[in-house]
């Protein structure tokens, strides 16, 4: 993972994901639950890939295209990303 001196923590990643999900026209604040499976959100794989690409750009790392299936909720994904960042790891 390519990162600066301060990598984002789990709460920052959760916040970023919530804000990004709310940019999807079909999503409403009532839809957002940190433990809700991504498969229950009102968007398809095309949107998931776009969000994954945006997340990769924000974190400055390569994420596998399957990241939303490997870590199926906002909380599990943000926790895994924060842990990897802390270890200097790479998902790609």
Q: What is the pTM of this model?
A: 0.85
Picking from 68, 75, 63, 29, the residue whose alpha carbon sits closest to that of residue 47 is 68
**Alpha carbons 16 and 57: distance in angstroms, whole number:** 12
Give residue 31's pLDDT.
Answer: 87
**Alpha carbons 92 and 89: distance in angstroms, whole number:** 9
pLDDT tens, residue by residue, 35-44 = 999 999 888 8
Per-residue pLDDT at 71 exceeds 60:
yes
DSSP three-state, residue 37: strand
Q: Say if residues 91 and 69 touch (Cβ distance below 8 Å).
A: no
Number of C-alpha atoms within 13 angstroms, CB side, residue 41? Answer: 31
Give 84's pLDDT tier (boundaries 50, 70, 90): confident
């Amino acid at each position: 993972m390519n990162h600066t001196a301060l990598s984002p923590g789990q709460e920052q990643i959760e916040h970023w994901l919530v804000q990004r999900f709310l940019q999807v026209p079909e999503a409403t604040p009532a839809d957002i639950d940190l433990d809700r499976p991504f498969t229950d959100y009102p968007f398809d794989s095309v949107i998931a890939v776009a969000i994954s690409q945006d997340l990769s750009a924000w974190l400055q790392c390569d994420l596998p295209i399957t990241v939303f299936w490997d870590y199926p909720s906002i909380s599990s994904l943000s926790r895994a990303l924060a842990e990897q960042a802390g270890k200097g790891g790479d998902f790609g």
